[in-house]
């Protein structure tokens, strides 16, 4: 079953949301979930998460728009591995381990555009397709075969405007990528990238995106005046999910003919791409957030802001700036909550976290993560 089969179209989404508004209801899960607090505090658990959820399956690295042209590159650590992703002259994105094949020096940092990557230690030079092109004083390496000493490649694919990288040989072919819904079309371009660090476990941060039960209590002056408290649609596709957050302006669609219906400025779709990436739709922009585990209580928070190339109508930039201010303010509130939760984890107050029927997308996340780790552990024991 494809994501298109699992996810409702805009018309159905609007109809379901209006039904919830009229009946003061929301989507509910079939069961609650209890997640042991020990799972946020265990180094062993984090190691298993990194190995089996992050390294042995395709994980989103960045939006395709972050690598728009031949030679565009992005270098950062993912699950503890330095990765260099670059769009080749053939238009294909390739990812490599960011290490020179001579002495392991990292070849690039940050993002930009280059025609070749020159090692800053001894000058070994690699093309944007990863081939070793030049070795200074090559006579000093009489047995070197440059054809076999290109950059160490990682399995890379692009789906729905996202670049996915697999660090270890996967146990099975990742056919689930072919079933992703349309996410980021070619009309979107990268406006800015920001990176910060949050003093919280990566899973605590993921959880904050996956329910609207907290809107009124956490965002009384930011999101709540615009959105509803505890009113969401929750849909799942594979290990992933989509949570719909309606705006109060959705009531304006009640009399709009189906053929003219447009959900822009009426709701936000939040896609959770398992395990650690959020794609959120907002008026005039898309936000892609990568939550990169750095340690038990430290998470890299990488944000890619994408804007529509056609934003040229009068007043668009002013509205866009106001919208971004609101998003940033609400995001800061969520991160403050995550840090406060992190501070309490080791207090002994909770043996487990209780995720209720209104937090079904979080339960879906933990259920799949637990099943994946359990299956991997069983496979290792049997091998």
Q: Are residues 225 and 203 in the same domain?
A: yes
Q: Are residues 160 and 202 in the same domain?
A: no
Q: Tell me the HSE value of 149 on the side-chain side, using a 13 A CA sphere.
A: 16
Query: Average pLDDT of 78-91?
Result: 97
Q: Are residues 134 and 34 in the same domain?
A: no
In a domain, 359, yes or no: yes
Q: How confident is the model at residue 316 (pLDDT cuts 50, 70, 90)?
A: low
Q: Are residues 49 and 68 in the same domain?
A: no
In a domain, 192, yes or no: yes
Query: Average pLDDT of 315-340?
Result: 85
In a domain, 149, yes or no: yes
Q: Note whether 191 and 181 are within 8 A (CB).
A: no
Q: Are residues 43 and 80 in the same domain?
A: no
In a domain, 11, yes or no: yes
pLDDT value for 174: 56
Number of separate domains in the chain: 2
Beta carbons within 10 angstroms of residue 369's beta carbon: 22
CATH number at residue 370: 3.90.380.10
Residue-wise pLDDT tens digits, 212-246? 999 999 999 999 999 999 999 999 999 999 999 99
Q: Note whether 268 and 222 are within 8 A (CB).
A: no
For residues 251-286, one letter each, b for 16 or more C-beta atoms within 10 angstroms of the residue's C-beta and e for the rest, the string is eebeeeeeeeeebebbbbbbbbbbbbbbbbbbbbbb
Averaged confidence pLDDT in the chain: 94
Q: Could you tell me how far CA 373 lies from the centroid of its own chain?
A: 20
- Domain encompassing residue 136: 60-169
List all residues 6 or more positions away from 350 whose beta carbon is below 8 Å from its beta carbon. 37, 344
pLDDT value for 58: 95
Q: Are residues 150 and 278 in the same domain?
A: no
Q: Are residues 148 and 282 in the same domain?
A: no
Instruction: Show which of 112, 143, 169 is a domain's final residue.
Output: 169
In a domain, 178, yes or no: no
In a domain, 12, yes or no: yes
In a domain, 176, yes or no: no
Instruction: Show which of 169, 203, 229 is a domain's final residue.
Output: 169
Q: Are residues 207 and 341 in the same domain?
A: yes
Q: Are residues 49 and 69 in the same domain?
A: no
Q: Are residues 136 and 198 in the same domain?
A: no
Q: How confident is the model at residue 320 (pLDDT cuts 50, 70, 90)?
A: low
In a domain, 21, yes or no: yes
Q: Are residues 194 and 308 in the same domain?
A: yes
pLDDT value for 67: 98
Instruction: Show which of 141, 169, 197 is a domain's final residue.
Output: 169
């Amino acid at each position: 079953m494809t994501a298109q089969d699992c996810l409702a179209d805009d018309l159905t989404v609007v109809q379901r949301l209006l039904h919830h508004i009229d009946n003061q209801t929301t989507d509910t899960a079939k069961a609650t979930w209890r997640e042991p607090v020990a799972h946020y505090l265990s180094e062993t658990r984090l190691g298993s998460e990194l190995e089996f959820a992050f390294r042995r399956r395709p994980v989103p690295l960045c939006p395709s728009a972050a690598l728009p042209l031949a030679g565009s590159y992005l270098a950062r650590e993912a699950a503890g591995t330095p990765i260099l992703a670059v769009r080749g002259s053939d238009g294909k994105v390739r990812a490599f381990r960011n290490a020179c094949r001579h002495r392991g020096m990292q070849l690039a940092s940050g993002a930009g555009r280059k025609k070749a990557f020159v090692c800053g230690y001894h000058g070994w030079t690699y093309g944007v397709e990863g081939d070793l092109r030049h070795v200074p004083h090559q006579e000093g390496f009489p047995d070197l075969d440059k054809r076999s000493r290109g950059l160490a490649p990682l399995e890379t694919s692009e789906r729905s405007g996202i670049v996915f990288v697999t660090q270890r040989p996967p146990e099975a072919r990742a056919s689930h990528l072919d079933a992703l819904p349309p996410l980021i079309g070619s009309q979107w371009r990268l406006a800015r990238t920001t990176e910060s660090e949050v003093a919280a476990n990566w899973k605590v941060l993921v959880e904050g995106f996956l329910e609207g039960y907290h809107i009124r209590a956490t965002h009384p002056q930011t999101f709540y005046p615009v959105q509803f408290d505890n009113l969401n649609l929750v849909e799942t596709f594979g290990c992933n999910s989509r949570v719909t957050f309606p705006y109060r302006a959705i009531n304006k669609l009640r009399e709009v003919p189906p053929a003219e219906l447009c959900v822009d400025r009426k709701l936000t779709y939040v896609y959770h791409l398992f395990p650690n990436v959020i794609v959120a739709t907002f008026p005039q922009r898309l936000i892609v957030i990568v939550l990169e585990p750095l340690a038990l209580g430290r998470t890299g928070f990488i944000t890619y802001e994408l804007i529509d190339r056609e934003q040229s109508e009068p007043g668009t930039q002013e509205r866009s700036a106001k919208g971004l201010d609101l998003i940033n303010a609400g995001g800061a509130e969520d991160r403050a909550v995550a840090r406060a939760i992190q501070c309490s984890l080791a207090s002994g107050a909770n043996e487990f976290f209780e995720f209720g029927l209104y937090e079904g997308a979080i339960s879906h996340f933990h259920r799949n993560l637990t099943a994946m780790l359990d299956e991997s552990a069983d496979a290792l024991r049997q091998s």
